[in-house]
Structure 1
Amino acid sequence: MIDVSLSSSKRYNVAVIMLSTLLMLTISGCQKAPDADSVTDDTVITTQTTPASPAQNEQQVNQSVNSQVLTILALGDSLTEGLGVANDDNYPAQLEARLQEMGYNNVKVVNSGLSGETSSGLVNRLDWVTQTKPDITILTIGANDAIRGIDVAIVEANIRTAVKHLQDNGSEVILGGMQIYDNLGSDYVQSFAAMYPKIAKEMNVTLIPFFLDGVGGDPKLNQADAIHPTSEGYTIIVNDNILPILQPEVEQMLVAKTNKTSLPAPVVTN
């Protein structure tokens, strides 16, 4: 009887253990996976992201660059104003249209040319024109001074004053070089032509060697006065004389603006 009682007791204990194990497995299988709200600080969640391709990165940079607003001031005399041609045919208007065709959607070219303007007159209106806060200024002045035979030293001093004023107001200057006819004497003509590269070198400004290159003196590209370009003449000036000099400046300026706006906010520490 004793042996039978012990045997029954063992069988009972085994059954209890098996039942408890089955119950624990069932409860464990019914539990839900933890959601985001229940994740503790000790839980590590791994996410996978697809890195942008080089082409996508370049596209994003280009879009950011082209979204920047850039103001170009066209400053000068009747050659800038566009005397004798329609408003859409002067060089500032054609330049803005051409830049936008090239993808510079937010570049604005302000026409601040004034017929009959001399270098002295231009200096007197610098405070007014710089209210446009130009990023880049294309300065083309001196032709009317030469027509009047004004001393080259005076013209040079005025141009230097204009360049410094523009630079002090945060504008990059592109200086348009000019050449004149020989009727004023070879000494004057040579001194006048040499003035522009001299100023550009000493004042660290970009130079268009001859603003009217390929147009000046060509009857087909100038109006009846043989001085002012036609619409077709201005197209050549924009495409061949201005843009090759201007575009690198525009690119550099837009990248600088983009980098400036994308800089992280400064960290303030107590």
Structure 2
Amino acid sequence: MAAAATAPRILVLGDSLTAGFGLAPEEAFPTRLERALRAEGREVSLINAGVSGDTTAGGKARLDWALAARPTLAIVELGANDGLRGLDPALTHANLDAILTRLKAAGIPVLLAGMLAPPNYGKGFEAEFKAVFARLAAQHDVIFYPFFLDGVAGDSRLNLPDGLHPNARGVEVIVERILPSVRKLLERGKP
């Protein structure tokens, strides 16, 4: 019983990529990541706070609600919808900065997952958008995973027919690739 009380509770604050859009609940990223961590003998529980269609502004607006679940660690995966909508990267930066500041104030170590913008807004927008995540990770001294969809984006075998959301196999690839960063997050969260 004492072990369960001290087991890390990882909040996954995100959008459709973490909510599991188009997938069965057991195929969603947080569920698969929890399963992978438990297979390594780690007692953890993940809290799926992914909302399809959410922007960084939406994540910021519901952060207090998500913190009511009393997480001890957090993975922040937001920004894909900001990029898809061509929102000003300065707004994305301000929203993520507020989220990271709030999590730090709550004493919750964070893994920030980066995102890339689609190419249709031009090279300047792409570069500015990508830089937001690395800059914030350094500023807040959080663990940084540069691209949440690394190894999955653009591969039709790993995505739903919409070409934007990972299928179950795509989620497995994301979990495999992000696991080393999640292990670092767990180390950072040790008392």
Question: Given the two structures, how large is their TM-score scaled by the length of structure 2?
Answer: 0.95
* Equivalent residue, structure 2, for 1:120: 57
| Contact map agreement 2:110 2:185 (CA 8 A) in 1 | no
For residues 172-191 of structure 1, the C-alpha deviation after alignment (integer angstroms, 9 at most, x for no partner) is 11100001221011110110
* Equivalent residue, structure 1, for 2:91: 154
Tell me, in whole angstroms, the C-alpha distance in 1 between the residues paired with 2:125 and 2:7. Answer: 42
Match among 15, 19, 37 for residue 77 of structure 1: 15
Match among 147, 156, 169 for residue 210 of structure 1: 147
For residues 141-200 of structure 1, the C-alpha deviation after alignment (integer angstroms, 9 at most, x for no partner) is 111111211111011000000111111112111100001221011110110011110110
Matched, 1:251 2:184: no
Tell me the secondary structure at the aligned position of residue 245 of structure 1: helix
Query: In terms of Rg, which structure is larger?
Result: 1
| Contact map agreement 1:77 1:118 (CA 8 A) in 2 | yes
For residues 12-69 of structure 1, the C-alpha deviation after alignment (integer angstroms, 9 at most, x for no partner) is xxxxxxxxxxxxxxxxxxxxxxxxxxxxxxxxxxxxxxxxxxxxxxxxxxxx989831
* Equivalent residue, structure 2, for 1:236: 173
Tell me the secondary structure at the aligned position of residue 189 of structure 2: helix
Percent identity for Structure 1 against Structure 2: 38
Greater relative contact order: 1 or 2 (C-alpha under 8 angstroms, separation 6 or more)? 2
Distance 1:248 1:128, change over 3 A: same
**Structure-to-structure mapping, 1:1-270, within 5 angstroms:** 68-105=6-43, 107-240=44-177, 242-254=178-190, 256=191
RMSD: 1.5
CA deviation after TM superposition for structure 1 residue 249, in Å: 2.4
- Alignment coverage as a number of residue pairs: 190
Query: Which runs of 4 or more aligned residues in structure 1 lie more than 2 Å from their structure 2 counterparts after TM superposition?
Result: 64-68, 251-254
| Contact map agreement 2:115 2:147 (CA 8 A) in 1 | yes
| Contact map agreement 2:55 2:79 (CA 8 A) in 1 | yes
